[in-house]
Structure 1
Amino acid sequence: MSGDHAMFHAEPTGMLRVPLLPRSATETRAHLDPRDREQVRRYLDALLSDGRVEEALAVSSPSLRRAVEALRAGAPMKAGALRKLTLSATRYVLRGASRATPFGLLAGVAPVSFGEGHQVRLGTRHRKAVRPDGGWLTGVLTAWEGDLEVLRALRVVANDLGFARGQRWVLPCGYDAKDPAAPEEPAADERRNEGRSAQEISVRHTAAVKTTLAAARRPCPTGDLLKVLDEAYPNVPGSAKEGLLLALVRQGFLLTELRPPLGETDPLRYAVDVLKAVGRADKARELAAVGDLLAEYAAERLGAGLGRWQTALDAMSRLRADDRPVQVDMRLDADVTLDREVLREAERAATALCLAAPDTQPTPELREYRDAFVERYGTGRAVPLADVLDPHTGLGPPAGYDHPRSERRTAERGERSERDRARDEFLAELALTAIASGDREVVLDDAALDRLRGSEAPPPAAMELCAHLTAPSRRSLEEGDFALVLSPATGSPAPGALFGRFAYLLDDVEEVGELARRSAAGSAREGALQAHLDFLPPSGRDTNVARVRPFWTERVAVGCFADRASPAVRGMDDLALAADLDRLYLVDASTGQEINPRVPTMLDQRRAPAAVRLLREIPTMGSWPSCVWIWGRLSTLPHLPRVRFGRTVLVPARWRLTDPGLFDSSLSDAEWERRLDGWRARWNVPDRVAVGAGDHRVEIDLTAPLHRMVLRRELGRSKDVTAYETPEDAGAGGGWLATDSGAFSSELVLPLLPARPAPGEAPAVRAPAPRIRPVGPPAPRHSRAWLYGKLYTYANRQDEVLTEHLPRLLAALPPAVDRWFFIRYADPAGAHLRLRFHGDPATLHGELLPGVLDWVEQLRDLRLAGAFIIDGYEPETHRYGGHEALDAAETVFHHDSVAALEQLRLRAIGAVTAPPQLLAAANYLDLARQVHGDRWPDWWLANPRDEEHHAYFREGRAAALRLLDGGLRAAFPAEGAAAALAALDARAAAMRAYASVAADGSVLASVLHMHHNRLIGTSRTSESRSLAVARGLAQAEHGRRRHLG
């Protein structure tokens, strides 16, 4: 694979992340007894002799700094506490010298540009960016919201995540119990519901609560709410009404304007401005004073700010006690331009990751949810988002969601695809060959990528790649002697997510915004509305990560204070969910326009409310987040080699700590050391490795006793600790980014968008966003007029049931049954046939149902059926043209079912020999003629050719053209086909009648889809082939007509 064929184009901008200290700072004392007080004191004195380290430690862990100061002051300390103190301080220093992920003052960021050649400068005058920690600020504002005098001046709005259930008003995601800003105790009228997630809270839905929430549907002053309550309940004491509002605010049922939106990058200034605007200058001054102190601290040179730091902490603690009241980010003093060849290498690496990705479907919980949505509501129909997420009236949250916790389960994975099996076998051969030969590296080439290529899922439309640039020296870098080492755990399928919260530190914030907008637009349907997603995280501390400037003018605001009267703001009531055969998508409930909500942040989606998490996940469902290498089933091996492609290490070598004794805290130090050495010898583990769980790794020297103690402590905290070779060892060394104090580790964040078309190549065409009419719950008119049963039977036995046994049941249908139809389906319970009968309710349930049950028992006796379930029929009204067309559509379903049964019967006895996909294609043409008449080829040719499946048409072209010449009826025998021909005539008349009343011209595609389902089954590949044959025949007919003039 050459760069000319890369799937991605790397943008000429990026972000550089660098730790505070050079790598040499990890060379701590090799021999130290952490139980010896004097040794520990001298060791810590040496560590903290660098003012930058002492200040960084104070910012990252104030409690650790207090413990160090206590030791220095002569406070008594037990041996265990001494050891803990030593190892904690050591780990922070290791982090500050080896991990580039920004955290306080231990690592910072700077923009990096790309051009011709390399220009690198790393200075020491790094700048601090300081603001209140989100948990501290949320706690202060929560307390003030509980002050009636403050609350009276504020505007409030009803939390649009709330809904009525029985006699309760429910908030599905309340405060996190671990959040320091959470209320200490529930209100008297609030209870935690048994049997549900702890985050769900509710209040009695009394008349007063109803009045309050109705009046607060749009932002209004609290004083106005009290007036509404006074007018409605004049005999209720004012204190009771005030208490009600305070309780509703405290529990989050009412939201105040005092909480800074996540789009406010200066949340303290926002709160000050609000307090001033509502006449609470006293509170505004208190917060402004904190802001002034933080600004004074930020202005101090790094390493000289401890005095002002402590002054700010003391002032903040008087407002609210908190161990971590301040959030600090660091802008590096760096000017870095790298040669564009680094970008070309990143493009090749990203393409290799996608080509080598496994075939296993991504986001299985969303796939299951989409299937359940289509099963419940159908396609082409939008349902209010709140209704879908309610577990009683809808589907509940998708499997794996925690806020509130979902009770859905993702179906067990079926048999792996042939591609995945082949991929696993080839990867195992490569990895085990390298391990057996003592080599730590697997080298891939184009041929190997072709063998690994496994995924049919579309590649991500964009990504942010995290890569370590390695080179022995700056001169080597300038000579092109470099290697990229990709992060094994960090990346994002949405450019801007890793940049997002640091955008305010970079030189050009709008450049980040433009990148995020282009990325979002490239992954969305043409015409979809791009919008910024705003919400209130369950924990105030989460806002530290989630706070990012909005890059879109449109806003989707869910579960947070917002003025939804603005046409640019959409809340929960404005949103509806829809699905097609490939995806879920969001639409505006009033217009049907698709909405693509985005928020460029790396906040763990599992921490978000269910509605927010779903809105964040569905825009990218179905495409692999191929930002990291995926070993698949080999990931459980105790050792895996590095994988290299070109000048990029796609994943460094990795070791799992497989000796159970290494996790045993009861082992003596000597025995544990022996076990560690045995593990290292067995798997040839190098001296220097990066250890930790997930992306939280620090580099240690396994020959240094103190570092080995750090490792043992890590193993006592997590069973998921792994060891990777360091980027410098995996790549080409680490000398290119160096100062007089030594060489630094680093990491690049590189945004990649889809590759530009090659010269002469047509640009990719994005599918248009659908426009659909959102609807409410289905009309109940079918609840008694339909009898609907699901007959579970193996897919390979369904034709037998349909042709040999269903006719017996149909022959005995009462005259009051005027139509029926069937479809094939599969759900987590298994493959089944869905049988639906329409008629007089009394006849259906009093006369037909007993006969159906007898028929099912006969099938069970023959071992052709399992469970039989009676269910409720909810028609896909809008998919098939609206309520006015539904009767006509169901008449087509009836006649298509009869036609399919007759053709299946003829095929079963050998009277029809055309391949199933050709027979289906001939039926498609027959149906299309009823809708479009002689212009039927034009309808097919309006859709682009499916190149992947067009090959099937080419292979069977001669047989297919014979069907075109003679029509569908030519596939039937001369004798014995009268019933089949009559079924075609009846279906044709029904289809013409349907086309005359259907409001939506797209219904034909749905009818064809269901015909394939009845005639052949649910195979997407088979359906795609049959559609390719039909389009090929349309092309042939079009060519004939043009030739004949």
Structure 2
Amino acid sequence: MTPGAAPEASLAGMARRLGLGALELESLVHGALRLPALAPGLLAELQALARDDPGQEAAALHTWLEEQLQRPELRPLIATASPQLLQYWEGGGKDDAARGALLRYLLRAASRCTPVGLLAWAAAARFDAPEGCWPDLRALPIRVAGLQANTGHRRVLASERVLARRGNRIVAAEAHSQEEALLDFREELWRELRGIHPDRGRSPVQEQLVRVRLLDTVAQPELTERFLKPGEVDSFQGVTAAVVAETVPLPASVRRAIAHRALALLSCQSLPDSARRLRTYHRLFRDRFTDEWVCAAELADPLISGLPAPWEADLEPPSPADEARARWLATVYHRGMAAGGRAVLEDDELSRFAAPAAREVPVADGFEAGCLLVASSQADLERGAFTLVPGSLHGSGAPHRSLGRFLGCLPQTFRDEVLGHQRTWEGERGALHAEVVWTRADSPPSLRWAAHAWSSEVICNGAPRMASRRRVLPEDVMVRAAPEGFVFALRDGTPLVLHQGHMLAPRASPRVARLLLELAMEGARHPGGFDWRELGNLPRLPRLTWRGQILCLARWRPGGPYSRERAGALRDWREANGVPRVVCLVENERRLPIDLESHWGRTELLRASRSAAASCYLEEAPWLEEATARTVVCEVVPSFRRRLPAPAPRQQRPPTDGTRIHRQWRSFTLFADEAAQRRLLVALRPMLPASPGDWHYVRFQEGPRRLVRLRWRGESPLDRFESLLDLALEHGATDVRQETFRPETFRYGGADALDAALRVFTWDSDSALGSWGAGREPERLLIETGAVMAAYLELLLGRAAGAAACRERSRRTEVAPLIRRIRARQDLLERLGRDAPPRALVELLRAWRDATPNAGPREALSFTHMAANRRLGSRRGQESVALALAETLLQARMRAEPQSSR
């Protein structure tokens, strides 16, 4: 069948072979989805197609089936297709060859991730497949956990009850995309993995694998978005309960972990009120809460029962201003989540409004005054119209708790202004909230008053008085679960609003303190006069020293590959030393999430702690320890020291011809051995830009470490640094660093010739990766490299000058035996000498030569050096070998030209 033939032609041929008309065949296909009695006829035809022509006709039938299944009247029938296929397979199909042929077709259909493919996968994975089909089964894009460890067992998927439940969900969704269908199906797949070994228990490795996959599935943000629609909290809890209840073979700890992960997602949704924070603290034991009141002291949750007693609570519900501020902060948080792992406030944003606020602020001796950045909109935030809400490192950060102590740190002018508003507060019978605002760097701070803010504190005679605050004990607090969240009250029914802020659990505080103490002993920079031993008692921890101020940033990024055989020992070390698993290191322009369960991760962290350039350590936030990879919550809280060092002025050097910086480029240095470099670059090639001149790579060696610098321009799937990090570690890289691309244009003919040189670099990089991907032998690769370098020299300098340049650079004794051995393959050299360079290379190099008419041996040898570097690396002598080969090939071409002219 020709590629452009319509599916009807293929169907007509199928009909003739079956002795049916085209309309009868169409009815047969539709009827197979409706009546089980007609299914064998369609499946027999599919078997015949898979045996006779597994390519074009089967693909045409698949396309036609897919189009038919998209019809609205046929969509409800998808739910019953899989049971019918199973009924036919288990009842009548006994021919192993026919079953294998049908399975291969269904696997090809499933690999397209279409509705037909999902049906095919649902049927094929349940079949007792022949042993030879399991490689195809494992190669599906849907990652099936456990198949590789259980290839001898052929019962993998769910029962007909599960498939029917999934079909009902698809029917209920009017606009169900293919991606959502695939996501739902993967959820069902992980849930039914317990059926891999129904007749015997799992090994510990299999148990761990199932646990990881189940947790990964429940924690998918897409699933949360589907189930967490307005008014559907009960539905989400029902799904969570179903997951926990249906995984019967799993131990209780795994079931609790699944509920833990699912409810963590619930707490990361939109923030309708202040209950989200409390829901986060109670997520581990959500099933313990009902609509009945429970004493807080009786809860098994260590995050609640272990909090320092007594608590502090407000006896009034929050005011509307509280809710408005909470909604705005939630918008800022979720903007950071949607940014795919980037901080909410980047360094450039901080420099616009944080630096003016940190200048010339008088602070009392031995006191750390904290502030919270608040603004009415993101636009106000960016132009500097923000508010610094005064807080304290020893309080929760709420201004009504620490305003009195903060006033003692301000000049007398501000204290007089506060006292001047005393009668106003008492006359209005309410509370005013003071906000300290810095508008410009060259102006003093001013006070702004809000009469409708926090209503729990009044100030009389210049001293704070907690008029409606009292200290409560956990034994006096009652809690119950409500649709709007957790509700707290005293035993007499008085409502409570708990202000816990980001209070750390006592269980988590010591390990954070030990980590920072270890960094301090290793030379990490921290503010002077700060008592590191008390970190375990602080609700906010300093994470970053930035331009003389401490910024508290909290970020969680789970995951990270690590060696399975060393996982146990590393985990024990981490628990014994209190080191969190994932930290994020910021050093100059480098942002690197590292996994402390890997040896290189811990080494890199301790190395950076001794460096003056390393300025930021982000450790895990205990209140987010079960968030997903896409969940990023960042909060910035500057804490001012008494004496702030003046920032060093930057030296503005005019751009020169040799140091022009291209800001649109991404440049990363990957540390790996030579074999890992090849695997990594070949794997990354399909993700890089396709346009010539938009990407290339260079290989180097710095001492014992080998590295490769990968650069690209424009958009690429690798623009997210986390994805590049995951790919690099997957293929054996030991480190990843982000750098600035500063091309040495003088080496390639000047700035005017840079664009042409970059196109040559792209072609050369792509050609080298093609040679690697084809699995060339080392000797063959060396000869091909010499041919490419000969083409460079021939087009840039001419044959005679190119041969002379080769001789000048290749006179080394260590390469002579290898050159003699390669020259023995005279037939191959003569053929390479007669072959013309590829047209693409000719055009690119001619463009470069036209752009740089004054190019000489320096530029030409720089290009040849780069060509050898990409293919051969930087081992000693290889460049000289390649240059010697290039001379041989140039001479062969010079000899071949007179012979061909005869």
Do both share a fold (TM > 0.5)?
no
Structure with the larger strand share: 1
Structure with the larger helix share: 2
